[in-house]
Structure formats: structure tokens, C-alpha cells
Structure 1
Amino acid sequence: MYIPFDELPPQARIWIYQANRPLTAAEQTEIKPLLERFATEWSSHGKGLQASAALLHNQFLVLANNEDATAASGCSIDASVRFVRELEQQFNIAFFDRTQLAFLRDGEVQLVSMNQLKDSIAAGDITKDTLYFDTLVNTYGDLQSDWPRQAQQSWLNRYF
């Protein structure tokens, strides 16, 4: 069962997929109905999930499920991964590249490769206060209240 994204309860579980490039307006227009259809049909052991999906900051695909109603099973999570992989192929985009970190700088999402992270910090391009899109956030409430978050409030803290 589809739930509008902004009506999810704070404890709803989320999965964040970061794109390797910004999605164009045309791509977003095409993807949004696919997301809604997937969320509507998403199920666990034959039982429909109270699910939603959204595109945020032109760069992130977020799937969500109200686990209080029905928990996502391994099979349903596998189905969501297959769906995201299909989007990758259809739109020639990568959502599973974990070598890029996303920061909010001057109102724009900026990607920094893991290989360049230490140099970017040493150069002062990334500071402990730089806003970081932590894809490890796993509840809707945390997404709403603390995303993006200061780099020092994430696993990146060890670099400062």
C-alpha cells in the first residue's frame, strides 16, 4: 500500500540510494510514477507493505516502509534492490557506487571520491561542519531531523 512520503511515521525504515550524478528533471518525471508503482506493489510474503519512495536533492532515491505495520523480509528487500538495479539500467545511472561521498556545499550536492577525502579535508574543502548526506540514516524521522548532518556527527568524525 502506497503512503505519501511526507505522511510516513518517524520510525519508518528507509533505504537511501545515492546516484552517481544528478538526475535530470526529465528523468525525475519518468522515475516518480515508477517509484509510486513499486511502493504500491511492494510486499513481504504476500502481504502488502505500507511503503513510499521519493527522489531527494536530485541525487538520492529513498525507499521507505512502515515496519510497525509489516516488516520487510529478505525477499522484499531483494525485490527492492532488483527494482533499483532496473532503474540503473533504464536510466544509465549508478545507485550502488559506494566510492563517492555526497556533501551539501553552496546549496548543491557535491560528490567527493573516498580516495580524495583526506586531501579535501587537508585542503579545508571539507570541514567538520560541512553537511554530509549520510546514506546510513535508516529511519524517516532521522532523515527529516538530521539529514544532511554535519560531517563530525557521522562516521566521518574520525577524520577530524
Structure 2
Amino acid sequence: MYVSFDQLPPEARIWIYQANRPLTDTELTRVQPALAQFAAAWTSHGRTLHASAAILHHQFLVIGLDEAMADASGCSIDASVRFVRELETSLGVELLEKSRLAFLVDGEVRLLDRRELRTAVAEGQLQPDTPYFDNTIARHAQLAQAWPAPAAETWLARYFAGK
């Protein structure tokens, strides 16, 4: 069952998929019906899931699930990944690639290859307070509270330990 993304409860489970580039307004308009259709049709062992999906910051697909109504099963998770792959194909973007980290710099999402992180910190390109999109967060409430969060307040803290 489709639930408006902003109506998901704070404890709703989320999965974040980061695109390798920002989506255009035209692409966002085109993909909205597919997001709602996926959420409306998503099931787990025949049970309707209370779910939603949204594109945030023109670059992040976020799928949300109210687990208080019904949990996702392995098969339903597989179905969501298939949906993400279909979006990759239809939009010509990568959503499942995990080697790039996203930061908010001058109001824009900037991607950095994970292998370049240590150098970027050493050269001062990234500061402890640089907003970082930690796509490992798992609850809807965290989107508003800590996404993006200062890099030094996330798992990246160890890179700033000596600063």
C-alpha cells in the first residue's frame, strides 16, 4: 500500500540508493509514477507492505517501509533491488554502486571516490563539519535529524581523529 513519504513513521525502515549524477527535473517527473506504483504493489509473502519511495536532493532514491504493519522478507527485498535495477536502466544512472561517497558542498551534492577520501581530508578539501550523506542510516527519522550530518559525526570520524 502506498504511503506518502512524509507520512512514514519515524521508525520506518529506509534504504538509500545514491545516483552517480543528479537527476533532471524531467527525469524526476517521469519517475514519480513508477515510485508510487512500486510502493503500492510491494508485498511480502502475500501481505501488502505500507511503503513509499522518493528521490531526495535530486540524487538519492529512498525506499521506506513501515515495519509496524509488516516486515520485508528476503523475496520482497529482492523485488526492491530488481526495481532499483530497472530504474538504473530507464534513467541511465548507477544506483547500486557503493564506491562513491556523497558530501554537500556549496549547496550541491559532490561525489568522491572512497579511495580518494584520505587524501581529500589531508589536503583540507573535506573538513570535520562537511555535511556527509551517510547512506547507511536505517530509519526515517534519521533523514531529518542526521542526513546529511557533519562528517566527523559519522563513521568517517576516524579520518578526522588527528584534526
TM-score range relative to shorter protein: over 0.9
Distance in 2, Cα, partners of 1:91 & 1:145: 29
Task: Map 1:4-153; keep pairs closer than 5 Å.
Answer: 4-153=4-153
Q: Give the RMSD, CA atoms, in angstroms.
A: 0.6
Distance in 1, Cα, partners of 2:136 & 2:153: 12
> What is the SS of the residue equivalent to 1:93?
coil
Distance in 1, Cα, partners of 2:25 & 2:105: 21
Which ranges of structure 2 fall in alignment gaps of 5 or more residues? none
Single out whichever of 66-75 and 115-124 deviates more from structure 2.
115-124
- Give the partner amino acid of 1:100: R
Deviation at 1:66, TM superposition (A): 0.1
Identity, in percent, stands at: 53
Please give the TM-score of this superposition, normalised by the length of structure 2: 0.96
Distance in 2, Cα, partners of 1:91 & 1:110: 19
Distance in 2, Cα, partners of 1:15 & 1:67: 13
> What is the SS of the residue equivalent to 2:79?
helix
Runs of 4+ in 1 over 2 A off after TM superposition: none
> What is the SS of the residue equivalent to 2:58?
coil
Deviation at 1:123, TM superposition (A): 1.1
Deviation at 1:127, TM superposition (A): 0.9
Distance in 1, Cα, partners of 2:128 & 2:81: 32
- Give the partner amino acid of 1:101: L
Distance in 1, Cα, partners of 2:43 & 2:29: 24
Distance in 2, Cα, partners of 1:97 & 1:16: 12
Deviation at 1:82, TM superposition (A): 0.2
Distance in 2, Cα, partners of 1:74 & 1:143: 24
> What is the SS of the residue equivalent to 1:129?
coil
- Give the partner amino acid of 2:115: N
Deviation at 1:5, TM superposition (A): 0.5
- Give the partner amino acid of 1:50: H
> What is the SS of the residue equivalent to 1:156?
helix
